[in-house]
């Protein structure tokens, strides 16, 4: 158990819909990262937050957004969903920015029909 | 840009065989290098890491040496077990003030008795 909690574990929805994925980082970790894992693209970095502020942006679509709340949990919002958004979305956390050791949750599997 | 290239899988080995998974990277600055492992149905977890040239990371019988001259970080294990069956990801942080990880596409290892 990494200590990172993601909900929901599975989500099935239709094209055009909007979903929210939730992540609670390990106790004490200030940095949260979101990754998308798909068969063809592998693990793609989406976005990183540190202590409530956005620190880095990767290949995140404009239809996607995220935030980190004062209690350090984070949410990833995916809107106007397309079939190609079907993937496993991982949240990871780390205690600081430099360590490089990320602790991953078990992921939220999104299926868009 | 930053990237990680690792050998294509899947790799199937018999128990007690020698394992090598090749990994090369492109990065700015002086990145730290990592191997993560993903067991079925789980999130990624850190296997080993190396933070500077010629460092050797090791854990659970796995080893990898940071080779700056060849920009490589190949993963090796002398005698694999069935329990090593998983997907292995090579990764680096860019080392240029940006601390999210860039991952390779993963190599699936299956070890048969």
Q: What is the pLDDT of residue A97?
A: 67
Q: What is the pLDDT of residue B22?
A: 97
Name the residue among B80, B86, B77, B49 with its Cα closest to residue B65. Answer: B49
**Helix spans in chain B (H):** none
Name the residue among A39, A28, A37, A48 with its Cα closest to residue A95. Answer: A28
Contacts of A91 (CB under 8 A, 6+ apart): A4, A6, A21, A23, A25, A32, A33, A34, A35, A74, A76, A104, A105
Average pLDDT over residues B94-112: 82
Residue-wise pLDDT for B28-87, tens only, equals 778 889 999 999 888 899 999 999 899 999 999 999 999 999 999 999 999 999 999 999
Measured between alpha carbons, how far is A106 from A89 in angstroms, rounded to an integer? 9
Q: Which of A43, A55, A101 sits opposite B89 (nearest CB)?
A: A43
Q: What is the pLDDT of residue B35?
A: 96
Q: What is the pLDDT of residue B41?
A: 84
Average pLDDT over residues A56-68: 93
Average confidence score pLDDT of chain A: 93
- CB burial of A56-85 (b: ≥16 within 10 Å; e: otherwise) equals bebebeeebebebeeebebbbebeebeeeb
The verdict on a CB contact (< 8 Å) between B103 and A42 is yes
B57 touches chain A (CB under 8 A): no
Asked if the model's pLDDT at residue A100 lies above 90, the reply is: no
pLDDT band at residue A1, thresholds of 50, 70 and 90?
Answer: confident
Instruction: Please report the sign of the dihedral spanned by the C-alpha atoms of residue B7, residue B49, residue A41, residue B12.
Output: positive
Q: Searching chain A, which residue's CA lies closest to the CA of residue B97?
A: A98
Q: What is the pLDDT of residue A22?
A: 98
Q: What is the pLDDT of residue B98?
A: 59
CB B75 within 8 A of CB B65: no
Joined tokens for residue A13: 């929805």
DSSP class of B82: G
Cβ-based contacts of A100 with chain B (< 8 Å)? 32, 34, 49, 51, 93, 99, 101
* 3-class DSSP state of A113: coil
Q: What is the DSSP string of B42-71?
A: S-EEEEEEE-STT-EEEETTEEEE-BTTTT
Q: Which of A33, A48, A104 sits opposite B45 (nearest CB)?
A: A104
Contacts of A1 (CB under 8 A, 6+ apart): none
Q: What is the pLDDT of residue A96?
A: 74
Q: How many CB pairs under 8 A join A and B?
A: 57
Q: What is the pLDDT of residue B2?
A: 79
Question: Among all chains, which residue has been given the structure tokens 């995916």?
Answer: A78
Measured between alpha carbons, how far is B29 from B10 in angstroms, rounded to an integer? 31
* Interface residues of chain A, partner chain B, Cβ below 8 Å: 2, 4, 31, 33, 35, 42-43, 45, 48, 55-56, 58, 90, 92, 94, 97-107
B98 touches chain A (CB under 8 A): yes
Q: What is the pLDDT of residue A56?
A: 87
Average pLDDT over residues A29-57: 90
pLDDT band at residue B9, thresholds of 50, 70 and 90?
Answer: confident
Q: Which of A45, A98, A99 sits opposite B102 (nearest CB)?
A: A45
Distance from CA of B15 to the nearest CA of A (A): 27
Q: What is the pLDDT of residue A95?
A: 83
Cβ-based contacts of A98 with chain B (< 8 Å)? 99
């Amino acid at each position: 158990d990494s200590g990172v909690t993601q909900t929901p574990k599975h989500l099935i929805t239709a094209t055009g819909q909007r979903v929210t994925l939730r992540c609670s980082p390990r106790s004490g970790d200030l940095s949260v990262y979101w990754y998308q894992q798909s068969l063809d693209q592998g693990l793609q970095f989406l976005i990183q937050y540190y202590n409530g502020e956005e620190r880095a942006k990767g290949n995140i679509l404009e239809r996607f957004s995220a935030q980190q709340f004062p209690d350090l949990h984070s949410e990833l919002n995916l809107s106007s969903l397309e079939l190609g958004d079907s993937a496993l979305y991982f949240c990871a956390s780390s205690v600081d920015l430099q360590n490089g050791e990320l602790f991953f949750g078990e992921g939220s599997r999104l299926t868009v029909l | 840009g930053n990237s990680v290239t690792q050998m294509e899988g899947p790799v199937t080995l018999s128990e007690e065989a020698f394992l090598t998974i090749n990994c090369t990277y492109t990065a700015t600055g002086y990145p730290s290098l990592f191997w993560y492992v993903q067991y079925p149905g789980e999130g990624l977890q850190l296997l080993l890491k190396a933070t500077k040239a010629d460092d050797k990371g090791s854990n659970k019988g796995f080893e990898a040496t940071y080779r700056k001259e060849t920009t490589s970080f190949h993963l090796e294990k002398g005698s694999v077990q069935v329990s090593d069956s998983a997907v292995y990801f090579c990764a680096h942080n860019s080392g240029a003030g940006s601390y999210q990880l860039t991952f390779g596409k993963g190599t699936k290892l299956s070890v048969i008795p």
